[in-house]
Amino acid sequence: MILKTEWTKKITEVLTNTITKMSEVKGDPIGLAINEFASKRKPADIIVKSDICDDDIIPIEVLFRTYDEMPELEKMALERVKGKTLDVGAGAGVHAMYLQDMGVDVKAIDLSKGAVDFMKSNGIKAEVTNFFSTKEEKFDTILMLMNGIGIAGKLSNLERTLLKAKTLLNKGGKILCDSSDIKYLYEDEDGSLWVDLNTEYYGNFRFQMVYKKEIGPWFDWLYVDFDNLFQAAQKVGLQARKIYDKDDHFLAEITKIDD
């Protein structure tokens, strides 16, 4: 039998190992891209490399979008924010800035020092902080947009990620997060589903960001379907509700149920 203290220690070790590759940043492509675009206004794409699919891009302009340019899902999430708010993986701070302008007490965190420096220069309260290392400060809303729940890395770490978020929530607090069910990537032309049985879950990915000559580390990232999110939330005393769903992309509101 594992004693409670030993079990807690094991959980901590697993969490630490899961996010080590994300915190040992050897390069800061996101931060460099943000600051170069802010100063020069010359767009250049951020390349997203994957170990299982073709390279993708993030147009730098996306990180500087205005409220009017945001998709309906993000606007809906911002409208549902209440009280003291933590913006996780804030990037250039477009959501935090909007909320701050609306009078919300918001704190932004990101692993990118360049991104945090940029946010601070715009008057946003921001820190270079790993979400899993966040001190036990309490919030009424935790905002995890642009698939921010993906920081779980793998489906097997989703419960632990939600449990960490729960410790940061005030009574009646909530998490607002979006994700995508990417099962369609594995569908054959006849509609049947092809999944590699050697993988834990079809939504587990590994990515690497590259901007010009700036190369970041490889990191795990999760795309989760709502059913798995719902079940993981329920297991740690949270209630997940889908409040938007379009083209396999959904927004969930997750609240405490065991206060």
Number of residues that this document lists for the chain = 259
pLDDT at position 198 over 70: no
pLDDT band at 26 (very low <50, low <70, confident <90, very high): low
* Beta-sheet strand order (sheet of 106-110): 126-128, 106-110, 85-88, 139-144, 169-180, 249-256, 238-246
Locate the domains of the chain by residue range: 70-209+221-256
pLDDT score recorded for residue 67 = 97
The Cα 238–Cα 160 span in angstroms is 12
Residue with the bigger pLDDT between 88 and 5: it is 88
Share above pLDDT 90 across residues of the chain, in percent, rounded to a whole number: 76
Q: How would DSSP label each residue in 152-199?
A: G-SGGGHHHHHHHHHHTEEEEEEEEEEEE-GGGGGB-TTS-B---TTS
Q: 94 is written with which tokens?
A: 């477009």
pLDDT band at 5 (very low <50, low <70, confident <90, very high): very low
- Per residue in 223-235, pLDDT (tens digit) is 999 999 999 999 9
The Cα 74–Cα 125 span in angstroms is 21
pLDDT band at 215 (very low <50, low <70, confident <90, very high): very high
Give the Å distances, CA to CA, from 247 to 73, 149, 240: 12, 18, 19
Q: Report yes or no: 58 and 46 within 8 Å, Cβ to Cβ.
A: yes
Residue type for 125, please? K
pLDDT band at 184 (very low <50, low <70, confident <90, very high): confident
pLDDT score recorded for residue 258 = 63
Q: Residue 244: which of 78, 62, 2 has the closest Cα?
A: 78
The Cα 161–Cα 184 span in angstroms is 25
Q: Residue 161: which of 89, 107, 241 has the closest Cα?
A: 89
Bridge partners (DSSP) of residue 256 are 238
Alpha helices by DSSP H, listed for 42-190, are 72-79, 94-101, 113-121, 158-167
- Fold of the 70-209+221-256 domain: Rossmann fold (3.40.50)
Q: Residue 138: which of 74, 86, 199, 208 has the closest Cα?
A: 86
